[in-house]
């Protein structure tokens, strides 16, 4: 039986790793490479690295820490790929097949596409045919608007015509291999995942769904696996603030009988 996965998400904004709340409030967390090393050592199943910058500026503005400043997200991903033992999904500002090719060449295993797919759903098909469906993850940002779920575009700022289940079926038909489902309302709130939303989307497609948005304790991960058909849970903030976080989350799930890989550390505690 296929194992359920735990996936840390790293958000990069203007060169810094950041904490996000509702896609609009950000707090700097630090260097974009250090966290990758930790998550790899804590035996994360995978890693999702998203560039949410509004500009092309990637500068830590700190020359006293001994870390090199990089001028582009692609340079950062090249650095990241050298220090990790886990599969990496890279997303943010992907507009062309050449962008995908470059990230895969630099060490990414998959790419996450959002706005470009909404603007041109045929791009999903073209990318899947060129690189394989297993490489193509569609990131779906969902917000409650006027009491209804709506798929959002451009970093959660523009409402689209699609409802989540509708868009999920379309991207599956177009050849996407996986869906990253983000709840904007739950982002950074630590109150638990939007179970209703995850149920709707994961039940509407056969491809894997990664649930994201709202994790505040390990039991929130368990709730997703217990109540929905999601294949994986992802989180950003909670994994940043607890030492050995991924190991501890996986241990909680494993000890409680959930279908995850046995917890392990790649370093000595």
Express each pLDDT in 71-101 by its tens digit. Answer: 678 888 888 888 887 899 999 899 999 999 9
- In contact, 20 and 11? CB cutoff 8 Å: yes
> Can you tell me the distance from the alpha carbon of 159 to that of 151, in angstroms, rounded to the nearest whole number?
6
- 219-233: b (≥16 Cβ within 10 Å) or e: ebbbbbbeebbbbbb
Specify the pLDDT at position 147. 94
**Domain residue limits at 76:** 5-255
In angstroms, what CA-CA distances link 44 with 6, 88, 240? 7, 10, 13
Query: Residue 97: inside a domain, yes or no?
Result: yes
Integer Cα distance of 83 and 197 in angstroms:
35
Percent of the chain with pLDDT over 90: 64
pLDDT at 18: 73
Instruction: Examine the pLDDT at 25 and tell me if it is beyond 60.
Output: no
Structure-derived torsion over alpha carbons of residues 230, 231, 236, 239, reported in degrees to the nearest 10: 120
pLDDT band at 23 (very low <50, low <70, confident <90, very high): low
The pairing of strands 178-183 and 158-159 is unpaired
Beta bridge partners of 181: 140, 211
Residue 52 lies in a domain: yes
DSSP line for 214-265: ---SHHHHHHHHHHS--SEEEESHHHHHSTTHHHHHHHHHHHTT-SBPPP--
Q: Is the pLDDT of residue 170 over 70?
A: yes
Contact 126, 138 (CB under 8 A): no
Q: Is the pLDDT reported for residue 59 higher than 80?
A: no
Q: Is residue 96 part of a domain?
A: yes
In a domain, 62, yes or no: yes
Provide the pLDDT for residue 64: 43
Report the chain's mean pLDDT, rounded to a whole number.
88
- Can you tell me the mean pLDDT for 204-228? 97
Domain-embedded: residue 170 = yes
Please check the confidence at residue 58 and state whether its pLDDT lies above 70. Answer: no
pLDDT attached to residue 71: 60
264, part of any domain: no
- Domain at 125, CATH number: 3.20.20.70
172 lies in some domain:
yes
Distance CA(15)–CA(28), nearest Å, equals 10
* Residue 165: Cβ-neighbour burial (10 angstroms; 0-12, 13-18, 19+): middle
- Does residue 262 lie within any of the structural domains? no
Structurally, the chain folds into a number of domains equal to 1
DSSP secondary structure letters along 15-76: TEEEEEETTTEEEEEE-TTHHHHHHHHTT-S-EEEEE--SSS-------SSSPPP-SSHHHH
**Window from 73-87, 91-105, 120-134, 155-169 with minimum mean pLDDT:** 73-87
Evaluate whether 230 touches 210 at the Cβ level (below 8 Å): yes
Q: What is the pLDDT of residues 102-118, one digit of tens each?
A: 999 999 999 999 999 99
Q: What is the pTM of this model?
A: 0.90
């Amino acid at each position: 039986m296929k194992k359920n996965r735990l996936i840390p998400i790293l958000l990069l904004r203007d060169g810094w790793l950041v904490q996000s709340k509702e896609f609009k409030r950000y707090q700097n967390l630090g260097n974009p490479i250090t966290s990758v090393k930790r998550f790899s050592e804590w035996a994360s199943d995978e890693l999702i690295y998203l560039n949410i910058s509004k500009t092309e500026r990637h500068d830590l503005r700190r020359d006293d820490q001994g870390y090199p400043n990089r001028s582009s997200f692609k340079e950062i991903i090249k650095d990241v790929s050298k220090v990790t033992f886990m599969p990496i999904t890279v997303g943010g500002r992907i507009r062309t097949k050449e962008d995908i090719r470059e990230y895969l060449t630099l060490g990414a295993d998959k790419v996450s596409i959002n706005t470009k797919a909404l603007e041109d759903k045929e791009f999903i098909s073209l990318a899947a045919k060129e690189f394989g469906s297993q490489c193509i993850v569609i990131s779906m940002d969902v917000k409650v608007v006027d009491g209804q779920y709506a798929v959002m575009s451009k970093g959660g700022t523009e409402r689209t015509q699609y409802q989540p289940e509708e868009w999920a079926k379309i991207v599956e038909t177009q050849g996407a291999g996986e869906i990253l489902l983000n709840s904007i309302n739950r982002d950074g709130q630590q109150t638990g995942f939007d179970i209703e939303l995850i149920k709707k989307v994961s039940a509407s497609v056969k491809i894997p769904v990664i649930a994201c948005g709202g994790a505040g304790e390990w039991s929130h991960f368990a709730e997703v696996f217990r109540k929905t058909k999601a294949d994986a849970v992802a989180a950003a903030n909670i994994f940043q603030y607890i030492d050995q976080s991924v190991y501890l989350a996986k241990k909680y799930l494993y000890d409680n009988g959930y279908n995850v890989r046995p917890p392990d550390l790649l370093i000595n505690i």
